[in-house]
Chain A
Amino acid sequence: QVQLQESGPGLVKPSQTLSLTCTVSGDAFSGGTYYRSWIRQRPGKGLEWIGHIYSSGSTSYNPSLKSRISMSVDASKNQFSLKVTSVTAADTAVYYCARAERLGMGRVFFDSWGQGTLVAVSS
């Protein structure tokens, strides 16, 4: 069974960089047809896709965040990471890492999620 676990600071100062890591276990990290994704949920709001890294290594980011987002993979550690630069209070949210498998055209859904980690942006 795949398990994902987010880690990183729970408090970040405005204008600084938010950095989170997702550690994956029980998953053949290399290969397959998986999207390793970051999704956030602001307080009292819905789910917002941030971006993903596909198995091929290609990345895709939410256009509204693209200029501040970067993602990377460390396959040797079964980890993938998120950085968000120049954070503001609007970036305060629970951040989830999740895995989606591509079963076919349009058939992509998130079958495994981390528990989520709350990141507050405050001075």
Chain B
Amino acid sequence: SYVLTQAPSVSVAPGQTASITCEGNDIGSESVHWYQQKPGQAPVLVVYDDRDRPSGIPDRFSGFNSGNTATLTIDSVEAGVEADYYCQVWDRSGDHPVFGGGTKLTVL
């Protein structure tokens, strides 16, 4: 089964840019999707198909995918984006989703 690896935590100062990575074998050939989950809440899709944003998601969220690493970037970080972030791809052979382990973003 396909494995996605995320760093457990990332810390960033307010106003700076946060980069959250998701590693997988040739992940650049897959469509990667990202979810934000705040404490006690359900996950929310923030980026799909590597770089597209659903309606209502601010443009401070962006994504890139190439090689063995996909990256979610959050510009001008503020306390409101502090959350867990999960990447996800679809395992085509098994026809099921695969999630990364999640990265906790802390705003210092």
Contact = CB atoms under 8 A, between A and B. Distances in A.
11 contacts: A47-B43, A60-B96, A96-B43, A106-B30, A107-B49, A109-B33, A110-B45, A111-B48, A113-B42, A113-B44, A114-B42
Interface of A: 37, 46-49, 52, 60, 62, 96, 100, 103, 105-111, 113-116
Q: Give the interface residue-count category, chain B.
A: 20 to 34
Nearest to B102: A46
Contacts of A107: 31, 49, 90
Contacts of A113: 42-44
Contacts of A110: 33, 35, 43, 45, 88, 97
A52 B43 contact: no
B59 interface: no
Nearest first, the 7 closest Cβ-Cβ pairs linking A and B are A109-B33, A113-B42, A108-B90, A46-B102, A47-B99, A109-B48, A107-B31
